[in-house]
C-alpha cells in the first residue's frame, strides 16, 4: 500500500500529510520525505526520517522511534542505537548480565543489565555472530559500542 501511495503522490505531484501514532508507520521511509514527532501538542523534532532516527534530540523521540537504548552515562542522558551495541571480547567494553535473548530472524535481540547503574540495554546482534558464541540469561557478558555513536539528549 505504501508503494502505491508513493506512486500516486509522484504521478499526481501532490503532498500527503499522514498522521499516525505508530512507530513503524512514522518511519515509513517509502512515504515520508520529512517526519514531525509531536508530544503533548508540541513538536519534539522534525526532519528527514533518517536524520530523526539516527540522531533523536529527546528521550521521547528516541523511545517513540524505537530501536534505541536510552542511558545515563557520565551524568548525561544519551541515546544509542541497539544495532550499535556489540557483544565484546573479554577485556573491552562494559560488564553486564544477560536478562533475555530473543531470536528475531536475521538478528538476535540480547537484553542485558549493565553492572554500572543496573541500566538495561539491548544489543541487536547479527544471527551468525550471535550463534558463533551464544549467550543465555544469567550469563556475564561485555558490551561495547563506539562512543561516537552516542547522542546526547536534550531535556
Domain with CATH 2.40.50.100 in the chain: 81-154
* CA pair distance 110, 102, nearest whole angstrom: 6
Question: Burial level of 53, CB count in 10 A (0-12/13-18/19+)?
Answer: buried
* CA pair distance 53, 35, nearest whole angstrom: 10
User: Is 81-154 CATH 2.40.10.340?
Assistant: no
pLDDT at residue 25, rounded to an integer: 60
Does the pTM surpass 0.85? The reply is no
pLDDT tens-digit profile, the chain (155 residues):
667 777 887 888 887 776 766 666 655 545 667 888 999 999 999 998 889 889 999 999 999 888 999 999 889 999 999 999 999 877 788 999 999 999 999 999 999 999 887 799 999 999 999 999 999 999 999 999 999 999 999 97
* CA pair distance 153, 57, nearest whole angstrom: 5
Amino acid at each position: 500500500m505504501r508503494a502505491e501511495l508513493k506512486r500516486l503522490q509522484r504521478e499526481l505531484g501532490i503532498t500527503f500529510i499522514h498522521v499516525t501514532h505508530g512507530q513503524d508507520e512514522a518511519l515509513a521511509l517509502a512515504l515520508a520525505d520529512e517526519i514531525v514527532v509531536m508530544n503533548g501538542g508540541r513538536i519534539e523534532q522534525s526532519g528527514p526520517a533518517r536524520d530523526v532516527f539516527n540522531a533523536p534530540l529527546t528521550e521521547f523521540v528516541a523511545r517513540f522511534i524505537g530501536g534505541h537504548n536510552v542511558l545515563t552515562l557520565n551524568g548525561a542522558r544519551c541515546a544509542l542505537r541497539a544495532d550499535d551495541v556489540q557483544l565484546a571480547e573479554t577485556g573491552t567494553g562494559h560488564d553486564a548480565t544477560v536478562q533475555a535473548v530473543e531470536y528475531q530472524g536475521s538478528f538476535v535481540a540480547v537484553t542485558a543489565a549493565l553492572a554500572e547503574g543496573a541500566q538495561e540495554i539491548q544489543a541487536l546482534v547479527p544471527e551468525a555472530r550471535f550463534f558463533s558464541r551464544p549467550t543465555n540469561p544469567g550469563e556475564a557478558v561485555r558490551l561495547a559500542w563506539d562512543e561516537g555513536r552516542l547522542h546526547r539528549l536534550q531535556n
